Amino acid sequence: MWKFTSIFLFAFAILAILALGQTSFAFDCSEFEVDRIKFNLQSLNKTEKITQEEKTPPTITDTEYHINPCAPLTYDNDDDESKKNHCDNNTYICQIKTNYLEGRKDPRIISIKQIAGGELNPELALGPALNNDDMHGHLSMIYHGASYNDEPQQANITFICKKQGDNKITKYNYKENTLFIEWETQAACGEKIPEEDKGMSGFTKFILTLIFIGLCYFGIGAAYKYHAYKAHGWDLLPHLDFWRDVPYLVSDVFKYIVNSFRTGRGGYSRV
């Protein structure tokens, strides 16, 4: 019975690992750090929409970007007909192009492109500080995981620290399958993580180790001599004769070194 149960649990664990390996985990923007700077972008966890209009006579082409840097996009209407008009599930940035004749508002969808989604694998980096008052430069995030017509897509978002004012996208440009965005927000003003106590240095640990070894040596040696030979006083020291000769040995070494510097012949004096 126990053997059967063990096999069942093992098989269940393997299946769970495989299932987790295929699951797309969302990027948690509520708390992360880059180069010892802590950020929290949770205030940006909502869908931002930007629109660009371009005249393409005799029509007009609108390009919409739906953006959420923290979570997949959600839609109010999620019926089958509406699903045809937006990106797939688990999309963070979606581009929708529509086209209509001038003077008429009966747009038709030209393309729906997933710019970022699925396995985002975000790349995080900090730019150089702009001045002495800045702790860090702009926060750069590159989102991957999407493709269109078998061409990989990505989004390169630069979050600019703005200590006052509203969050807003100031610039954006799509080229070479990459959407470049500049986003001013207070959330991009990171907080420096205090240096952790690094503890004792290597030299201090070395000295303490020597002291510990010395205490063990003298303690164990004294206990042994006390129980084995009933020794008392200085006789408790292990290898007592050696320790009595230590001052003379140190003196001889010191004299040898001094003579070596004086004569330059390794300590030998002229005859």
Per-residue pLDDT at 120: 83
Share of the chain above pLDDT 90, in %: 38
Adjacent-strand bridge partners of 160: 184
Chain segment 80-129, per-residue pLDDT in tens = 555 567 898 899 999 999 999 987 778 899 999 999 998 888 899 998 87
CA angle 14, 17, 18 (to 5 degrees): 85
The residue ranking higher by pLDDT, 243 or 110, is 110
Is the CB of residue 29 less than 8 Å from the CB of residue 49? no
Rounded Cα distance between 263 and 271, Å, is: 12
Q: Which amino acid is at 269?
A: S
> What was the pLDDT predicted at 83?
57
Q: Are 74 and 54 in contact (CB under 8 A)?
A: no
pLDDT tens digits along 175-191: 999 999 999 999 999 88
User: pLDDT category, 10, cuts 50, 70, 90?
Assistant: very low
Quick: pLDDT tens for 200-213.
667 788 899 999 99
pLDDT in tens, 140-163: 999 998 989 999 999 999 999 988
Largest CA distance in the chain: 118
Q: What is the mean pLDDT of residues 219-245?
A: 86
- The answer for residues whose C-beta is within 8 angstroms of residue 232's C-beta and 6 or more apart is 226
Residue 132 binned pLDDT confidence (cut-offs 50, 70, 90): low
Q: Which has the closest alpha carbon to 62: 80, 48, 50?
A: 50
Q: Match domain 23-192 to its CATH number in 1.20.1250.20, 3.40.50.300, 2.70.130.10, 2.40.170.20.
A: 2.70.130.10
- Of the candidates 67, 51, 174, 170, the one whose C-alpha atom is nearest the C-alpha of residue 117 is 67
CA neighbor of 93 nearest in space, from 115, 110, 109: 115
Q: Which long-range contacts (CB under 8 A, 24 or more apart) does 221-226 make?
A: none
Per-residue pLDDT tens for 27-86?
A: 678 888 888 889 999 999 999 999 999 998 889 999 999 999 999 998 776 555 555 678
> What ranges make up the beta strands (E) of 102-177?
108-117, 123-126, 139-148, 151-161, 168-175
In the DSSP assignment, the letter for residue 270 is: P
